[in-house]
């Protein structure tokens, strides 16, 4: 994307003050089926906020509740502190980009974008034609106003749909899996462009995707959805490095999740650190204690579940040594994903080399993240 002048509806990101969008105790039921369960979320002004999760987790229903296409069975939706529960979509000042783009085939690209201005004047007092021109420039389609949508690639159609949604200068932009039909390389390129557009405009954006990598790449914060409610809401690095639940640990990226009984709590004098020794299978592994799971919060006899990312495992290390057998490997270009069998448990290792046969892998106690601990 080239450098462009900000559009007239650009806004600075506000990390404080009244949230742009709030869902407070929202429930959505369809007969006996609950799609969203006691959902409470707060999205900041100017934030790129992503809902990610498997099919059926409630993420698209949540987006539809925010847009006004669905009404809560119970609870409240607020924009800027004001309730919009029961307010129709056309009165909510939101722009929506759907999964199938929903472009009008009988209209040109420019006419499709101008359709977003059918019921309102352009922000900033300019003409419709000026607004269409500046938005097509924003999405790198400035020379395609007279083209028919069916002559465009999928990525170009996606950007036309985004320009149309942005045309009236909405307060909130909602994106419902807009790249799911595109190939992987194009998705990677377009997600960068979407993020650049969002940052240039400073528009509050709520994005729905099932792609964990995409969620981590573009978001200020991520809500990992499961069974109609968020399991964790946090910045991408926290989601990846410090998953709050076992579901988050296993859903977001590859992970090794292990569980066992605490047999000792001791000091690691060399690193001024408290460690828990955990009996896993036929061996004992040491895990660093910190944060919510300090030495005072973990006792001998507790059941402790922890995870280690595959890239934090190392071959031929002296710490937490685990003799394992290579069962299969997948060459991924920059790394190889190696499947190991350790005492009947599957481990995943990411490495530049391809080990074979029986190897010893291990990890630093500080690289393990505790998910749960207790009796």
For position 297, what pLDDT does the model report? Answer: 81
Instruction: Find the helix packing angle between 154-166 and 128-138, rounded to 10°.
Output: 140
Instruction: Please give the pLDDT value at position 19.
Output: 94
Q: Tell whether the model's pLDDT for residue 81 goes beyond 90.
A: yes
Structure confidence at residue 108 as a pLDDT band (50, 70, 90): very high
pLDDT, residue 324, reads 94
Q: Which has the closest alpha carbon to 290: 351, 373, 347, 219? A: 373
Residue 328 pairs with which residues in a beta bridge?
Answer: 339
Block residue for tokens 């749909």: 161
pLDDT band at 119 (very low <50, low <70, confident <90, very high): confident
Extents of the domains making up the chain = 21-246, 256-374
Rounded (10°) CA dihedral 279, 285, 288, 291: -40
What pLDDT score does 191 carry? 87
Q: What does CATH list as the number for 21-246?
A: 3.40.50.300
Are the C-beta atoms of residues 90 and 119 closer than 8 Å to each other? yes
- Rounded to an integer, the average pLDDT of 248-264 is 95
The SS3 assignment for 191 reads: helix
Interatomic CA distance for residues 109 and 100, integer angstroms: 16
Position 248 scores a pLDDT of 97
151: exposed, middle or buried (Cβ count in 10 Å: 0-12, 13-18, 19+): exposed
At residue 257, the 3 state secondary structure works out as strand
pLDDT, tens digit (0-9, with 9 covering 90-100), for 339-373: 999 999 999 999 988 888 999 999 999 999 999 98
Q: Which fold has domain 256-374?
A: OB fold (Dihydrolipoamide Acetyltransferase, E2P) (2.40.50)
pLDDT of residue 15: 52
pLDDT tops 70 at residue 311: yes
Strand-strand pairing, 21-30 and 345-351: unpaired
């Amino acid at each position: 994307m080239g450098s462009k002048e900000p559009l007239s509806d650009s806004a600075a990101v506000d990390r404080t003050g009244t949230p742009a969008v709030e869902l407070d105790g929202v429930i959505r039921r369809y007969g006996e089926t609950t799609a969203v369960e006691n959902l409470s979320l707060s999205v900041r002004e100017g934030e790129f906020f992503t809902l990610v999760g498997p099919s059926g987790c409630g993420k698209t229903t949540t987006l539809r509740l925010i847009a006004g296409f669905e009404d809560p069975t119970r609870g409240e939706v607020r924009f800027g502190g004001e309730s919009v529960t029961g307010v129709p979509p056309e009165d909510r000042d939101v722009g929506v980009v759907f999964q199938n783009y929903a472009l009008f085939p009988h209209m040109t690209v420019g006419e499709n974008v101008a359709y977003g201005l059918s019921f309102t004047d352009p922000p900033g007092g300019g003409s419709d034609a000026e607004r269409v021109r500046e938005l097509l420039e924003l999405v790198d389609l400035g020379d395609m106003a007279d083209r028919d949508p069916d002559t465009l690639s999928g990525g170009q159609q996606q950007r036309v749909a985004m320009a149309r949604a942005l045309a009236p200068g909405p307060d909130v932009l909602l994106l419902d899996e807009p790249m799911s039909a595109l190939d992987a390389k194009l998705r990677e390129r377009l997600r960068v462009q979407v993020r650049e557009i969002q940052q240039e405009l400073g528009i509050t954006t709520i994005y729905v995707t099932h792609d964990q990598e995409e969620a981590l790449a573009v978001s200020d914060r991520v809500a990992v959805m499961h069974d109609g409610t968020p399991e964790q809401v946090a910045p991408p690095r926290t989601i990846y490095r410090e998953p709050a639940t076992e579901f988050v640990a296993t859903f977001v990226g590859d992970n090794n999740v292990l569980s066992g009984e605490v047999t000792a709590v001791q000091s690691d004098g060399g690193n001024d650190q408290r460690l828990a020794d955990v009996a896993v299978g036929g061996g004992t592994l040491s895990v660093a204690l910190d944060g919510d799971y300090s030495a005072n919060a973990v006792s001998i006899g507790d059941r402790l579940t922890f995870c280690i990312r595959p890239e934090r495992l190392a071959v031929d290390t002296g710490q937490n040594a685990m003799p394992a057998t290579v069962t299969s490997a997948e060459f991924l270009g920059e790394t190889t994903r190696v499947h190991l069998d350790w005492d009947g448990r599957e481990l995943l290792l990411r490495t530049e080399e391809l080990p074979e046969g029986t190897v010893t892998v291990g990890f630093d106690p500080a690289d393990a993240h505790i998910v749960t601990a207790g009796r």
